[in-house]
Amino acid sequence: MNQRPRRIAFVGSSLPRKCGIATYTADLCDALEAASTKTEFTQVAVTDTEPGYSYGPRVRFEIPEKEVAAYRRAADFLNLNDVEVVSLQHEFGLFGGPAGSHVLALMRDLRMPVVATLHTVLKAPDAAQRKVMLELSALSARLVVMSRRGEQYLHEVYGVPSEKIDFIPHGIPDVPFVDPNFYKDKFKVEGRMVMLTFGLLSASKGIASVVEALPAILARNPNVVYLVVGATHPHVLRSEGETYRLALERLAQERGVEGSVVFHNRFVSHQELVEFLGAADIYITPYINEAQITSGTLAYAVGTGKATISTPYWHAQELLADGCGVLVPFNDPAAIAEKVTELLSNEPARHAMRKRAFLRGREMVWPKVAGAYARSFEQARPRRQHLAGPAGVFTTMNKRPRELPPMKLDHLRRLSDDTGIIQHAVFAVPDFSMGYTTDDNARALILAVLLEEVGGAVSVQARVLASRYMAFLWYAFDPVSCRFRNLLSYDRKWNDGELSDDSHARALWAMGTVLGRSRNAGLRGPAANLFERALRSALGATSPRAWAFSLLAIHEYLRSFTGDRTAQQARETLADRLMDIYRRASAPDWPWFEEGLSYSNAKLPHALLLCGRWMNGRPEMTEAGLKTLDWLVRMQRPENRQFVPVGSNGFCRRGGPRARFDQQPVEAYATVSACLEAHRLTGDGRWRNEAQVAFDWFLGRNDLRQPLYDPDTGGCRDGLHPDRVNQNQGAESTLAFLLSLVEMRLAEDIIQKTEMP
């Protein structure tokens, strides 16, 4: 007999976060604690908002969802505290990274066995989901599923051996079999037949089908009332507000059934939920997606002995078999109305179904589920003991990625007013006298869109700022010339003489990024209007950097609109121009596009790398992009040491000296971005390391050993002079740092193990 572990840690979401997995974890901990007084239970909470939550004493460590380094710190914490088993509550959307891949960073560093409870098992995963699941399965000592179908898919789709899988049903409270009338007076529905749906609201719950069914139900049973219990899902609330609930309320009014529908818009307590279930005559789960392997709400309904009607998602097919409930087709209000009417008109059949469901639920009560988990934990312990190293031994610096600074937008917000982002600053104070530029507002809009992908509180802040930057660019566009103006004074007067090709192309790049990445319809509409008109003008540019920025714009745009022939032809034209100047200017000792190096140099090879990757049959572009980037990186790392960008005080001409100062943040950003693209293209860890070296320039790994990033303000200083750091924190430098940081964060795709030289 294996000895029970003395310390068990649960990793996942935790109450008071409004999340089904948080509730499940709390119930499981309580049940295990009731069964064993000798085991210590702690929780590691994954947090999805910047303010966090007021966690209880059981939560000992907090992981910001999007911060991969925090997952590694959590592993160190668990290793140091002699935790013997980790219970991981897994759901793809719970963790940061592609398909929730950040959790793998934690699992790789743990020195104790992991028992992973899979709240979702996909039959047809995409490539990222498959990679995550395969590695998660390999790193887990045991896998817990809550349905037999989940067990089947783990074995057939992911190749997990059956002996590694534990089937443990979703736990439910052990409540008596009661007459629904016992609780109805509490909710002022005495004398009425109660239909109930509960859980966090989102469009996938299919509640509209029940509302649509109500007129037919009420025609036969006018005393029916439909209770919808639960708050809107927090993620839905942050992105869409109460749009879904309000749409349901409008639908009820349109169908004339508002007098028979009650929305209880609250995340209810455990005791309240038991009472709501107790009052229900019929429970309904009208979900619209078949691929739901587990439903805690359905488990609760069955366990409390409810007559249940459900759509045939996977868990319902299994749990309601043998007369424990009835299934209706997806999105079929008529079928729902028919089955509700049948059950209400046949009381003996309804009560027989209730009894069968209640008896099935006796195998799912929390004490039995806790016992099954305890056995799984015991079996898991020998599984990885031989893999564990000495206690307290952690991964050395050269074996793991460096931690990145937090994403702090304080200075970005300080520089941004109702017009846009102000160009310059005196120290950290905006300098109104210098006004605004299209260049900076384009960069700022690109940043805001990328922050959507980072998620969390910064994405909410960026969403507000994005509309200001878009408004500036809309105003900057001249519909006559179809060009973007660049310089706007603080008193809102355009000061341009000849319009800038580079500014126009940067604005085009911002439009392409909105269209290729953003889900904000309010941004996508104006971006589409501007992109189409501005693209034609971009082809008239003579600046190689404008060509490169335009190629970046087209690449982003084609992420969403792959079939656009006009954009494809423009990409081909501009890419050929870059290749042409490269062929004419390059030599063995000068493999470059021009007779000199100036600003944003790495954007030229970056653009060719994208073209070589996404334009069919153009390997010469990939070769030229890698060759020129390799040469540039070596030029910028004298003696293979810290990053030293070409200085703006003279730049560098072929055959002449290169300026060492003034070093500009925009050069570090261009190098970070290009090297990350080279890493994505080749998989070579050297490029990831070069990106890190360039990024470290911001943090003090530079000629003066002084940081340019200011962690107090969240801004970035304007450059390195020979004897000092420029203390002003203008828009270009701050955006260069923040864009570098967000790209480094998004590049931490830990599905692929990157060698860190």
Q: Give the residue extent of every domain in the chain.
A: 7-170+367-399, 181-363, 410-747
Q: How do strand 193-198 and strand 224-229 relate by DSSP bridges?
A: parallel
Cα-flanking dihedrals φ and ψ of residue 405, to 5°?
-65, 160
Sign of CA dihedral 187, 193, 199, 204: negative
Cα–Cα distance between 458 and 156 in angstroms, integer? 40
CA distance readout (Å), 208 to 24, 161, 309: 27, 41, 15
How many CB atoms sit inside 10 A of residue 524's CB? 19
Cα–Cα distance between 454 and 98 in angstroms, integer? 11
CATH class, domain 181-363, is alpha beta
Give the pLDDT score at 752.
41
Give the pLDDT score at 616.
82
- How many percent of the chain have pLDDT more than 90? 79
Say whether pLDDT at 155 is over 90.
Answer: yes
Query: Are 212 and 251 a contacting pair, CB within 8 Å?
Result: yes
Query: Are 306 and 357 a contacting pair, CB within 8 Å?
Result: yes
Give the pLDDT score at 382.
67
Pick the CATH number of 7-170+367-399 from 3.40.50.2000, 3.40.50.1360, 3.30.70.20, 3.10.560.10: 3.40.50.2000
Q: Which amino acid type is present at position 616?
A: N
Helix (H/G/I), strand (E/B), else coil: 41: strand
pLDDT in tens, 102-119: 999 999 999 999 999 999
> Residue 559 corresponds to which tokens in the numbers above?
């992420």
pLDDT in tens, 713-740: 999 999 999 999 999 999 999 999 999 9
256: left (phi over 0), alpha (psi -120 to 50) or beta: left
Task: Give which of 420, 424, 441 is closest to 433, Cα–Cα.
Answer: 424
User: 62: which strand partners?
Assistant: 45
Give the pLDDT score at 393.
45
Say whether pLDDT at 754 is over 50.
Answer: no
Task: Give which of 88, 196, 182, 70 is closest to 133, Cα–Cα.
Answer: 88
Cα–Cα distance between 29 and 44 in angstroms, integer? 13
The CA-to-CA distance between both ends of the chain, in Å, stands at 46
Cα–Cα distance between 310 and 325 in angstroms, integer? 8
Give the pLDDT score at 396.
52
DSSP 406: P
Say whether pLDDT at 700 is over 80.
Answer: yes
Q: How do strand 715-716 and strand 483-484 relate by DSSP bridges?
A: unpaired
Task: Report the interhelical angle of 333-345 vs 207-220 (nearest 10°).
Answer: 50
The rounded Cα 42 to chain-centroid distance in angstroms is 26
pLDDT in tens, 322-350: 999 999 999 999 999 999 999 999 999 99
- Look at the pTM and tell me if it is higher than 0.75: no
CATH architecture of 410-747: Alpha/alpha barrel (1.50)
Query: Are 251 and 208 a contacting pair, CB within 8 Å?
Result: yes
User: 725: which strand partners?
Assistant: 720
pLDDT in tens, 543-584: 999 999 999 999 999 999 989 999 999 999 999 999 999 999
Cα–Cα distance between 591 and 610 in angstroms, integer? 19
Query: Are 624 and 607 a contacting pair, CB within 8 Å?
Result: no
DSSP 494: B
> Residue 173 corresponds to which tokens in the numbers above?
């409270």
Cα–Cα distance between 470 and 132 in angstroms, integer? 36
pLDDT in tens, 202-251: 888 999 999 999 999 999 999 999 999 988 877 777 777 888 888 999 99
Give the pLDDT score at 391.
45
Task: Give which of 427, 508, 527 is closest to 727, Cα–Cα.
Answer: 427
Query: Are 88 and 12 a contacting pair, CB within 8 Å?
Result: yes
> Residue 43 corresponds to which tokens in the numbers above?
């929780």
DSSP states of 85-111: EEEEEE-GGGSSSGGGTHHHHHHHH-S
Give the pLDDT score at 568.
95
Task: Report the interhelical angle of 270-279 vs 296-303 (nearest 10°).
Answer: 60
Say whether pLDDT at 667 is over 90.
Answer: yes
Cα–Cα distance between 53 and 10 in angstroms, integer? 17
Cα–Cα distance between 309 and 142 in angstroms, integer? 33
CA distance readout (Å), 399 to 291, 386, 745, 752: 39, 21, 18, 15
pLDDT in tens, 360-392: 999 999 999 999 999 999 999 865 444 444 444
Give ∠ CA 363-365-366 in degrees, rounded to 5: 130
pLDDT in tens, 616-630: 878 999 999 999 999
Query: Are 594 and 585 a contacting pair, CB within 8 Å?
Result: yes
Q: Which amino acid type is present at position 601?
A: N
pLDDT in tens, 487-531: 999 999 999 777 899 999 999 999 999 999 999 999 999 999 999
Give the pLDDT score at 195.
96
- Decide whether 7-170+367-399 matches 410-747 in CATH topology: no
